[in-house]
Structure 1
C-alpha cells in the first residue's frame, strides 16, 4: 500500500542505539531540507551514561565516511580510544599478521556507551524527543479504524504515531511483540532463525602494558581447536583496557574461561584473578529476518538480520539501514511500497549474507584444512593476503572477496603450487648443508632471487655479495642440498648505525621457492646466530617493511621482537 508522509507526522522509534539514532538524524535533516515538519519520538529504556552495550565497538571503513558525508556527523576525537593498524589472525594451527595496504580508511575502537550516547544526543539536538521507557506492546489499526494509526504502549504510558521503526536489536520481548502484532498480515515479520551467542569481558591495563603486549592490533581467532564451541574470538585494545569477546552458536561462559587460559591469549593480558572478572552475554543474528517491513512499520539494524558472519559490522549495518529507511520514508512515505524500495537499497547487505554464509560454512566444517591453507598461501600471495585482511576487518564485502579469489590465474597457480608440495613431500630430501658463501655462488643466488621476484638482478647481487664478503665473510652463508644452493643469508657486524651499538645485522635472507617450508631458513639463521655469538655479539638487528606481514611473522618465529625505532619518509 502507498501511504504518503503527512505534515506533522509522528514517527516512533523503538530503540535509541545507533540504528534508531541514525534513522532519526537522517529523517530530521531530510525533512528540514524539504520543509516538512515531523515529530520523531525515541523510546529507549537504557541510560547510555551507565548501561553496558554488548558490542566490542570497532568502527571499520567505510563507516567514518558514511558518518561524515551522509549522516553529516563528525565524531569528536574524545570518542577515539585507539586506532587499529592490523589484525593477527589465528586459524588452522597457523597465524599471520594482516595489515591494510593504506587505501581503505581508518579503523578505530570506541567505548560503545559513549558512541551511542553521542549519536542519541545528536538526534535530540535536531529535535527528536526521548521517552526513557521500555515498550511493551504495539497496536496497528486499519485505515478505516482511527485513520490507520499505530499505538505504542510503554511502561510509562502510550503514544499514537503514524509509523513505528523497530530499532530494538534482538530484544526477545519486542521481537515477540512484532511477530504477534503482524501475524495476521499477508507478510508477517519473522525474527532471524540463526543467531550466535557472545560473551564479553574487560581487562584494565596501564599504557606501558598495552603498548608492549597488545599495541594497535586486534588478535582474531577462528575456531580455536582447544575450544570447539568457539567460532570466533578476538582481543581488542581500547584506550585504557582490553576487550575479549567470543562467539558461537552453543558457546557458554565456560568457553570464555577456557579461552582466557590459553597460552597465546594470556600473553596479551595482565595478570588476573578469574573470580574478579565479569562476563556480559549477548547475541547477534547470522541469518536475515522475514518481512522486516510493512504498512506503517519498518525494521533497522539487528532486527533485520542483515549481518555478515564473523566480522558482523553491526554498527555499520545499524547506521546504513537506519539512513536507508529514513530515505525511503522521505521519498515514498510509510507504506509497504516505499519500504520495499528500502530493502532494494540494502541489497548489498543481503547479498553479502549469502556469500558470508558460504565462507562461514568452510571455516566451521573445514577450519584446519581451509583456514590453515589460506593463511599459509597468504604469506606468498598478495591476493589471498588481502582477502584474509578484508574478511577479518570487514573492509570489503564477501562477494568482492570471493570474486577476487576465483580468478583462473590464481587458481591454476595455487593448484600447481599444491602439486609441487605433494611431490616434494613424497621425495626424500637430502641433507641440508650450511657453509660459507663464496663468489661462485652469485649465479645461484641470482636465480633464487629471480624465482622470488620474477626479475633478474644480476648486477645488483654481484655488487652486494662482493661488498658483504669483503666486510664480514663469516656472516655470509649458503644452504646446499645435494650440491645445489637452495638458500642464502647475508649478515654483517657494525655499530652505531641509527644510533644502535655494535651488533649483528641480518640484512638479507632468501630460500628457493621450491624448497620453502623445509626449515632451510631456520638453519641459516641458526648458523648466523652461532657466528655472531662466537664473535661476542649479544644482539641481532634486522629491518622489514611494516606491511610485509609474512616477514614479520617469520622473524618473530625466529625470536625477533619489535625494536624501538621507526623510519620516517617525506616525499619531495
Structure 2
C-alpha cells in the first residue's frame, strides 16, 4: 500500500445501506467532525426500503442495548414510533411442556425491519451523506485506491466497507479479489398473517418460542406485530414443506387463532419468504483497504441473535478504526478485530449452547430443565436471556 492512513478528505465507500452500513456512515461523519477532519462518504444500496418494495426476512425484534447504542455513538433517538409492540414475556415450548419467562429489564421492541432500515438510511441522507441507489458489480484493489464498479458510475475510494449481509453476489466479489470466505449460515423461512383483531389481544407482548422435536427445525417462533403475527423457523435446510408442517403441528396451531381462511381474508397472508443468517465467523473479513461488518463478517452472537445490534456495533467500530488507526490489514487486525472480541469470544460459547439445546430438546432432556426452572429464578433468568437476546 502507498499509505496506511485515511487522508484528510479521503473517500470511504460503504457497500450496503442496512443497519451496519448506515451506522458506519453516521459514525464516520460524527467522529471526523469531532477530530476536525474531512471525510467523503458514499453509501451504495440497491434495495428500495421506502414504500416497502423489499421484504426483510429478519423477524424484527430489537433488544437492549440498541437504543442506548444509537444515542451514545450516533446521537440518534430510537424510532419508537415504528414500534408494533413491546415484548416483555417469552413462552417456551419444548418436549410437550410450556414455560413462561419474564424479564426484569427494558423490553424488546417489535417492528417491521424494512421500516427500521428505511428510517436508518433516510437519517443518513438527512445528515448530508451521499446515498447512491446502485449495486456494486466489481472491485479493483490497487496500492493507492480501490475502484468500485457500480450499475451506474464507477467510484474510487481509499477504503471500502462491506455491509452487504449474506448477499451472495457481493460476497463473491470480495471472495474473488481478497480471499474472503463468507460465514456458515442457517436458513430461515418467515411468514405472517392477520387474525381477527379481538383474537390478537391475548397474544400481545409475548413471543412463543418453539424447540420442535423434528431435527430439521432448530427453532421456531410466533411474534405479535400490532395487527398481525409473524411466524419463523430456522435450520440447516428448512423449506416450505417444513414450514407448513410447523404451522400444522398441534402445539403451534394452538397459539395461532383464525389460521384457517387467512389467505381468503388477506391476499398477502401466509406467503413464505426465505433468508439466511450467519452462525460462524467469516474468513479474511478485513485486509488492506477493506473491512466487513455485521452479518458479512459473521459478527453476530451465535444462538442469541442480536444481528441488528451487532451490525451497528461493528459498523461503529469499523469507523473508529478507519479514522483513528488506519486502513491497512495490520490496523484492522490490531484494532477492529480486538474491538469485536466480545462477539468473537462469545461465538464458541453460543455455538456450544446451540448444540446442547438442540440435543436436549430432541432427546427429552430439556423437560428436566424446564421443570427445574419453574422453581429456580436464576435458571428462569438464564433461559429468558437466552431466548430474548437481552444478555451480552
Q: What TM-score comes out, normalization by structure 1 length? A: 0.65
Q: Which residue of 1 aligns with 2:266?
A: none
Structure 2 counterparts to residues 248-259 of structure 1, below 5 A? 248-259=235-246
Structure 2: how far apart are the matches of 1:325 and 1:370? 42
Q: Which residue of 1 aligns with 2:181?
A: 190
1:297 shift after superposition:
0.3
Q: Deviations over 1:189-220 (max 9, x none)?
A: 2111x2100000011234322112x1210110
Query: SS state of the match for residue 89, structure 1?
Result: strand
Q: Which residue of 1 aligns with 2:260?
A: 272
Q: Which residue of 2 aligns with 1:43?
A: 44
Query: SS state of the match for residue 75, structure 1?
Result: coil
* 1:53 maps to 2:61: no
1:113 shift after superposition:
1.0
1:274 shift after superposition:
7.3
Q: Which residue of 1 aligns with 2:309?
A: 316
Structure 2 counterparts to residues 131-210 of structure 1, below 5 A? 131-142=132-143, 148-182=144-178, 188-192=179-183, 194-210=184-200
Q: Which residue of 2 aligns with 1:216?
A: 205
Structure 2 counterparts to residues 353-432 of structure 1, below 5 A? 353-367=347-361, 368-397=363-392
* 1:303 maps to 2:323: no
Contact 2:282–2:296 at 8 Å: present in 1 too?
yes
1:92 shift after superposition:
2.7
Q: 1:73 aligns with which of 58, 63, 76?
A: 76
Structure 2: how far apart are the matches of 1:259 and 1:200? 12
Query: SS state of the match for residue 178, structure 1?
Result: helix
1:306 shift after superposition:
2.1
RMSD in angstroms over aligned alpha carbons? 1.6
Q: Deviations over 1:5-55 (max 9, x none)?
A: 111111000000000001111111111111211111011010002211110
1:361 shift after superposition:
1.2
Query: SS state of the match for residue 157, structure 1?
Result: coil
Structure 2: how far apart are the matches of 1:320 and 1:94? 36
Contact 2:194–2:262 at 8 Å: present in 1 too?
no
Q: 2:345 aligns with which of 341, 351, 359?
A: 351
Contact 1:83–1:108 at 8 Å: present in 2 too?
yes
Query: SS state of the match for residue 54, structure 2?
Result: coil
Contact 1:54–1:280 at 8 Å: present in 2 too?
yes
Contact 2:300–2:311 at 8 Å: present in 1 too?
no
Contact 2:57–2:275 at 8 Å: present in 1 too?
yes
Structure 2 counterparts to residues 368-517 of structure 1, below 5 A? 368-397=363-392
Consecutive unaligned residues of structure 1, counting only runs of 5 or more, are 143-147, 183-187, 398-572
Q: Which residue of 2 aligns with 1:410?
A: none
How many residues are paired up? 381
Q: What TM-score comes out, normalization by structure 2 length? A: 0.93
Query: SS state of the match for residue 392, structure 1?
Result: helix
Q: Deviations over 1:340-371 (max 9, x none)?
A: 21111110101111101111111223323442
Q: Which residue of 1 aligns with 2:67?
A: 64
- Which moves more between the two structures, 381-390 or 362-371? 362-371
Structure 2: how far apart are the matches of 1:230 and 1:317? 24
Q: 1:320 to 1:370 in 2, by over 3 A?
A: farther
1:382 shift after superposition:
1.4
Structure 1: how far apart are the matches of 2:58 and 2:353? 22
Q: Deviations over 1:489-535 (max 9, x none)?
A: xxxxxxxxxxxxxxxxxxxxxxxxxxxxxxxxxxxxxxxxxxxxxxx
Consecutive unaligned residues of structure 2, counting only runs of 5 or more, are 264-268
1:228 shift after superposition:
2.7
Q: 1:95 to 1:345 in 2, by over 3 A?
A: same
* 1:111 maps to 2:112: yes
Structure 2: how far apart are the matches of 1:41 and 1:169? 18
Structure 1: how far apart are the matches of 2:366 and 2:170? 38
Q: 1:342 aligns with which of 332, 336, 343?
A: 336
Query: SS state of the match for residue 366, structure 1?
Result: helix
Q: Which has the larger radius of gyration?
A: 1
Contact 1:363–1:370 at 8 Å: present in 2 too?
no
